[in-house]
A and B are shown apart, each in its own frame.
Chain A
Amino acid sequence: MIKVNGLHKSFGNVEVLKGVNTHVKKGEVVVVIGPSGSGKSTFLRCLNLLEDPTKGEIIFEGQSITSKENDINKQREKMGMVFQQFNLFPHLSVLDNITLAPIKVKNIPKEKAEEIAFRLLERVGLKDKANAYPKQLSGGQKQRIAIARALAMSPDVMLFDEPTSALDPEMVGEVLEVMKELAKEGMTMVVVTHEMGFAKEVGDRVFLMDQGIILEEGTPEEVFDNPKMERTKDFLSKVL
């Protein structure tokens, strides 16, 4: 579903990604772990071109999204993204946050969009918050709304950029629960996270990134229980 070939990204003189190659298959949950500064988030943000790769190619559903003629807005409709800082639109109600893109981008009629929104709100357990504004919500609620907002475009893949890192500990669970549900329903997911428990439990494949490359990849058992690289062992010993 997503093919990445020789992905490089530099910010000025700093090369953050030094040739990432991988392939994410449909229905797969890929969890990306690694020390901070290893390029995990940059890698994820390259997948929907929030960062413009310096070199390399990304192919999404058979279409090269890095080619010059490509209109990235089309693929972004199919790639939901959830951010560490939630990034809900503070001037819009929860309902309007969710229906904005379906109405404006997909031209879905308002009533239909709201129907979809209510169904999603029910799914994330926040139906009663439809008319609330983001600042009235807790961090965990905000993130669940952000997930619902991304799902409203019925994406083929969901990208999660450290979705629980900005949350108070007691709110991490409710967000992970929603993500687990999503994984169970067969959603293709790429998740950058520090939640090793989630990686073990939900991940089909784990990437360990370090210094701009995927250092080690495999099933959670392979990576967590029998890491091949010294660097992986070192990292895991610090976080587990």
Chain B
Amino acid sequence: MVGISEFLSTYLGYFFEGTGITIALSFFTVLLGSVTGTLFALMKLSKSKALKRIASVYIEIVRGTPLIVQVFILYYGVAQIIQNSGYTMPQIQVFGNDLVSFVSIVIAMTINSTAYIAEIIRGGIESIDQGQMEAARSLGLNHKMSMRFVIIPQAIKNILPALGNEFITVIKESAIVSVVGIRELMFSASVVQGTTYKIFTPLITAAAIYFVLTFSLSKLLGVAERRMKVSD
């Protein structure tokens, strides 16, 4: 047991650094994904066949291909584009990574998450009884006002818990970005593996941290959900 406490006292701080980056990465992904996801959800719900089509195709492609492939394409794609443009990016560090790497990985993760969030939001809006829209329209509210004052406030109650779950999913899936060298929790584990020649301890440590993150988040969500039910 001496080995473990020594291991933790030496490397835990390093793991925590990675954890912070994982949280930041996931947070920005869900935040941006919520904006773009809303956009795609509205496209899918719109009357325009073209917009519907674009949104459907996007969602199907993203959901039908592995995240790791998307990450590779985006990550190296963005780097390639920047290189081809002949512009040298300033070397700025954000969240333990250089700016371009961090931003391209957030973009890659967001593109992925957008598809899932769009479906969450579409589902939330469609779960509201048709009669609500009809009642609002019959009172003279136009479509936009009806959405804003009647449909969305009710849909939010269905959407927020699902969005919380998406956050949890993104935290777990973000481990994949360590393969392109983004410094986050999983990457910390690999680095510690390399320096200590231990295989399992770093992995178990990372797994424990992921679990604590997702478990406490889901407990937190449960509390929030119960609160919202009370105000119903």
Give me the interface of A with B, judged by CB distance under 8 Å.
48, 50, 73-74, 76-77, 79-81, 83, 85, 87-91, 100-101, 104-106, 135, 146, 149-150, 153
Contact = CB atoms under 8 A, between A and B. Distances in A.
B151 to A, nearest CB: 10
Contacts of B142: 73
Interface string B138-159: 1111100100011001100000
Given A74-B140, A89-B150, A105-B139, 15 more contacts: A73-B140, A73-B142, A76-B137, A77-B139, A77-B140, A87-B131, A89-B132, A100-B139, A100-B141, A100-B150, A101-B139, A101-B141, A104-B141, A105-B140, A146-B135
22 contacts: A50-B134, A50-B137, A73-B140, A73-B141, A74-B140, A76-B137, A76-B139, A76-B140, A77-B139, A80-B138, A83-B135, A85-B129, A85-B131, A87-B132, A87-B134, A89-B135, A89-B150, A90-B232, A91-B153, A91-B154, A105-B145, A150-B139
Contact of A48 (B138, B149, B154): B138
Contacts of B232: 90, 135
A104 B138 contact: no
Nearest to B153: A91
A155 to B, nearest CB: 9
Given A100-B139, A100-B149, A105-B145, A83 B132 contact: no
A104 B137 contact: no
Contacts of A104: 141, 145, 149
Contacts of B145: 104-105
Interface of B is mostly: helix
A106 B139 CA distance: 10
A85 B131 CA distance: 8
Interface in B188-202: none
B139 to A, nearest CB: 4
Contacts of B137: 50, 73, 76
A87 B154 CA distance: 13
Contacts of A100: 139, 141, 149-150
Interface residues of B, number: 18
A83 B132 CA distance: 10
B154 A90 contact: yes
B153 to A, nearest CB: 5
A101 B140 contact: yes
Interface in B94-145: 129, 131-132, 134-142, 145
A151 to B, nearest CB: 11
B125 to A, nearest CB: 14
B134 A83 contact: yes
Contacts of B135: 81, 83, 87-89, 146
B230 to A, nearest CB: 12
A149 B139 contact: yes
Nearest to B231: A91
Contacts of A83: 131, 134-135
B157 to A, nearest CB: 8
B161 to A, nearest CB: 16
Q: Give the 7 A-B residue pairs with the shortest CB-CB distance, closest first.
A: A87-B135, A77-B140, A101-B139, A81-B138, A87-B131, A76-B140, A105-B140
A87 to B, nearest CB: 4
Contacts of A80: 138-139
Contacts of A135: 232
A50 B140 CA distance: 11
